[in-house]
């Protein structure tokens, strides 16, 4: 707002005047975006005649936050071309090309996060990050999913914004963070791979629900709990009990909870959406390990994606194996069949290793060069090691390769999608400077979206 000229400090003006001028330059109640009032202390509000906002319902917050956001954005763009929220899109468009993304760089980084991982996510990593989608929803309340995501470019800046999170893995490195929020269950939203890293700032943005994290009720969800605590004795029923409890902090309570519950632990993890990028990581990891060693935990580690849980991986692995099995069953067109079923899988070439002879032939060797790991080799010192669990963080992943195509690509007529880079895919992990060591990966690029059957 250009209206905000601040008093210049060096001026020789009387204090009163200065004070007045300063006061004048303050935004008026009307000028403030609705939600921002909530962040002002009562005292401050009264001094400047800002009417405190009445408590808001989730819906209000949602609406207002969006309005505020849009407003801010438009103001910004009016001034410069800088788009602070490159990824934000209205959720409306569930269309294929839409980007229902609503992210915010939240995180639920609790102190004791069992696995030392936290959702933090920054999407714009250096070279355009890939991201995964995560979707959080609460079971009992049909809340819209809350998104995580959107982050701050890491490149130089770091993004360990507040809100809990982010670093945990403190090493300077970057962590692959591929999360994205999606309202589209099927989850394939292409999103432009924003290459530039997001300029710092903007710790997080609101999503439809406001700052998701804290407005989440403390349901008994078992998440986070999983490992550590299924509260209330019978873990099993935890879920059942869910509805009768809470009434805690928010909702009825005060309008503003400035300092939220560090209690992120009551949060349910977002539902993970396996985007092609994420899946690719997965596949790479599996390939890298060799099917033999590819067990959830290890894969998870290799993938090094924040917030990814072993369960996520296990689940996906389960499915992936099924897929492989199918492929194996019906060669030739089997692929087609399988592909038909699993678009995701079909879109990612099988790692040379697993190939079709999944189960059965052993191959402990490993393979594909795909893994970024700077130094090649295990990114982290020995997996057993466990040290400062901080695997080498992968830097960015490539931008969304599937740019633009969403579901469309799965329909193509399964023909010989010849060469064209049989296994291009993987990483051009460009390390952006930073941690010494450069991409050792061959200049592969371009990924083939089709099942690179290549035997």
> Would you tell me which residues interact with DNA (CB under 7 A)?
137, 139-140, 185-187, 221-223, 226-227, 235-236, 238-239, 268-274, 295-298, 310-312, 314-319, 321, 341-344
Pick 298 or 422: Cβ nearer DNA:
298
Pick 51 or 297: Cβ nearer DNA:
297
Q: How far is the CB of 33 from DNA (least distance, A)?
A: 30
Q: How far is the CB of 3 from DNA (least distance, A)?
A: 44
Alpha-carbon torsion, ordered 285, 291, 296, 299, to 10 deg: -20
Q: Which two tokens stand for residue 234?
A: 């019978």
**Ramachandran class of 163: left when φ > 0, alpha when ψ lies in -120 to 50, beta otherwise:** left
Q: Which two tokens stand for residue 7?
A: 């008093």
- Residue 113 sits at the vertex; the CA angle it makes with 108 and 119, to the nearest 5 degrees, is 35
Cβ(125)–Cβ(197) below 8 Å: yes
Q: Which two tokens stand for residue 57?
A: 């319902």
Q: How far is the CB of 437 from DNA (least distance, A)?
A: 28
Q: Which two tokens stand for residue 132?
A: 């995964």
Q: How far is the CB of 111 from DNA (least distance, A)?
A: 18
**Ramachandran class of 258: left when φ > 0, alpha when ψ lies in -120 to 50, beta otherwise:** alpha
Q: Which two tokens stand for residue 34?
A: 């609705």
Give strand pairing partners of 374. Answer: none
Q: How far is the CB of 54 from DNA (least distance, A)?
A: 31
Pick 270 or 351: Cβ nearer DNA:
270
Q: Which two tokens stand for residue 385?
A: 């090691």
Q: How far is the CB of 9 from DNA (least distance, A)?
A: 52
Cβ(392)–Cβ(373) below 8 Å: yes
Pick 183 or 395: Cβ nearer DNA:
183
Pick 41 or 237: Cβ nearer DNA:
237
Pick 56 or 279: Cβ nearer DNA:
279
Pick 85 or 223: Cβ nearer DNA:
223
Q: From CA 140, how far away is CA 104, in angstroms rounded?
A: 23
Q: How far is the CB of 436 from DNA (least distance, A)?
A: 31
Concatenate the DSSP letters of all residues of 382-418 into one string: -TTT-TT--PPPP------TTTT-SSGGGGS------
């Amino acid at each position: 707002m250009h209206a905000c000229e601040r008093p210049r400090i060096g001026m020789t003006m009387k204090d009163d005047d200065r004070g007045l001028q300063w006061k004048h330059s303050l935004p008026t109640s009307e000028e403030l975006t609705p939600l921002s009032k909530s962040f002002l202390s009562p005292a401050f509000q009264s001094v400047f005649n800002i009417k405190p906002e009445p408590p808001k319902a989730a819906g209000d917050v949602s609406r207002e936050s969006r309005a505020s956001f849009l407003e801010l954005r438009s103001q910004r763009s009016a001034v410069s071309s800088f788009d602070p929220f490159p990824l934000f899109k209205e959720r409306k468009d569930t269309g294929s090309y839409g980007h229902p993304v609503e992210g915010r760089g939240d995180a639920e980084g609790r102190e004791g996060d069992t696995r030392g991982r936290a959702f933090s996510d920054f999407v714009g990593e250096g070279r355009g990050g890939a991201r995964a989608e995560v979707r959080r929803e609460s079971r009992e309340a049909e809340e819209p999913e809350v998104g995580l995501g959107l982050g701050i470019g890491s490149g130089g800046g770091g993004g360990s914004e507040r809100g809990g999170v982010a670093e945990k893995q403190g090493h300077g490195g970057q962590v692959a963070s591929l999360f994205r929020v999606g309202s589209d269950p099927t989850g394939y939203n292409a999103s432009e791979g924003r290459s530039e890293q997001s300029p710092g700032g903007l710790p997080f943005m609101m999503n439809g629900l406001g700052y998701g994290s804290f407005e989440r009720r403390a349901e008994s969800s078992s998440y986070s709990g999983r490992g550590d605590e299924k509260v209330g004795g019978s873990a099993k029923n935890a879920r059942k009990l869910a509805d009768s409890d809470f009434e805690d902090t928010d909702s009825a309570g005060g309008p503003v909870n400035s300092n939220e519950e560090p209690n992120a632990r009551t949060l349910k993890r977002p539902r993970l959406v396996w985007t092609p990028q994420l899946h690719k990581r997965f596949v790479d990891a599996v390939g890298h390990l060799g099917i033999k060693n590819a067990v959830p935990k290890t894969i998870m580690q290799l993938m090094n994606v924040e917030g990814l849980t072993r369960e996520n991986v296990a689940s996906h692995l389960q499915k992936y194996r099924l897929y492989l099995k199918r492929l194996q069953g019906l060669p030739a067109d089997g692929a087609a069949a399988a592909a038909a079923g699993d678009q995701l899988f079909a879109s990612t070439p099988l790692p040379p290793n697993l190939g079709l002879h999944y189960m059965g032939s052993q191959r402990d060797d490993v393979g594909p060069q795909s893994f970024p790991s700077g130094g090649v080799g295990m990114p982290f010192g020995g997996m057993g090691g466990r040290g400062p669990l901080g695997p080498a963080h992968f830097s960015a992943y490539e931008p969304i390769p599937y740019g633009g195509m969403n579901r469309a690509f799965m329909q193509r007529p399964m023909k010989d999608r010849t060469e064209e880079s049989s296994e291009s895919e993987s990483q051009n992990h460009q390390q952006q400077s930073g941690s010494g060591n450069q991409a050792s990966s061959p200049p592969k690029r371009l990924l083939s979206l089709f099942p690179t059957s290549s035997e």
